[in-house]
Amino acid sequence: MNRLETFMLSAIIGSGLLVIGCGGSGDSGTASTAQPAAAPAEAAAPATPPAAATEPAAPATEPAATAGAGEPEKAAEGAQAATGERPRFVPPVRGTANIEILAPKTTIEGNEVVTRLKIRNASLGAIAMLRVDETWYDKAGNAMPGDSERHRQLFMPGEIIDIELRVPRNSKFNSNNFQFSHANGKIDVKTVKSFPTPQGE
């Protein structure tokens, strides 16, 4: 009986060792199955290139930037077009220039005597620094001081301007006269009833 019990005990112990051995191999199997689980993570790694695939979208933004840069160029072209519409430079007259004037209108406004002149440049060139000097006279023909005005911009051919002269009111004023000049010479004056109609009107 003791040998039989000893044999059975040995068999039980052997079986237990076998179970333990199988259990160890099962743990290594779990680790190996964990590797395939990691493999999908590696397989997921190729998913990052699609993120890199978004990089080609950057050139799409470059055309937008290029279009924005083109806007100033278009604006510059528009400015050039606007410049092209401006009148070309006209050299100033040197020597005698010709102007036309309508009949002067003189009124009394408060304590001032105001004379308004409407003047047209009848020359082919521009008139630089047109100046108007007024002189008043009493009934005896004695000269009395009047006003002076200067047109500081270039007076272009065919252009019409208004000149206003003001002097303090004086009961001795009877009539007035005007002298015209410019930076480069004298002025020939012609009084007319009306100015020619500008072209295009």
Element containing residue 21 per DSSP (H, E): helix 2-44
Residue 113: Cβ within 10 Å count = 21
Same-domain pairing of 103 and 166: yes
Residues 82 and 130 in one domain: no
Nearest 5°: the CA angle 153, 108, 150 is 15
**Confidence grade of residue 35 (pLDDT, cut at 50, 70, 90):** very low
Does 63 map to a domain? yes
Number of domains in the chain: 3
Q: What one-character-per-residue DSSP string does 41-89 give?
A: HHHHGGGHHHHHHTGGGHHHHHHHHHHHHHHHHHHHHHHHHHHHHSPPP
Residues 101 and 181 grouped into a single domain: yes
**Residues 44, 59 within the same domain:** no
**CB atoms inside a 10 Å sphere around CB 148:** 13
Residue 114, pLDDT above cutoff 80: yes
Task: Note whether residue 199 is domain-resident.
Answer: no
Is 129 contained in some domain?
A: yes
Residues 121 and 164 in one domain: yes
And the tokens for 12?
Answer: 């039980």
Kindly state whether residues 120 and 179 are assigned to the same domain: yes
Which structural domain range is residue 151 located in? 97-191
Q: Does residue 75 share a domain with residue 107?
A: no
Q: Are 133 and 146 in contact (CB under 8 A)?
A: yes
Mean pLDDT to the nearest integer, 78-100:
74
Contact 139, 171 (CB under 8 A): no
What confidence tens digit (pLDDT) does each residue in 132-175 have? Answer: 999 999 999 999 999 999 999 999 999 999 999 999 999 999 99
CA angle 129, 133, 134 (to 5 degrees): 150
Same-domain pairing of 80 and 124:
no
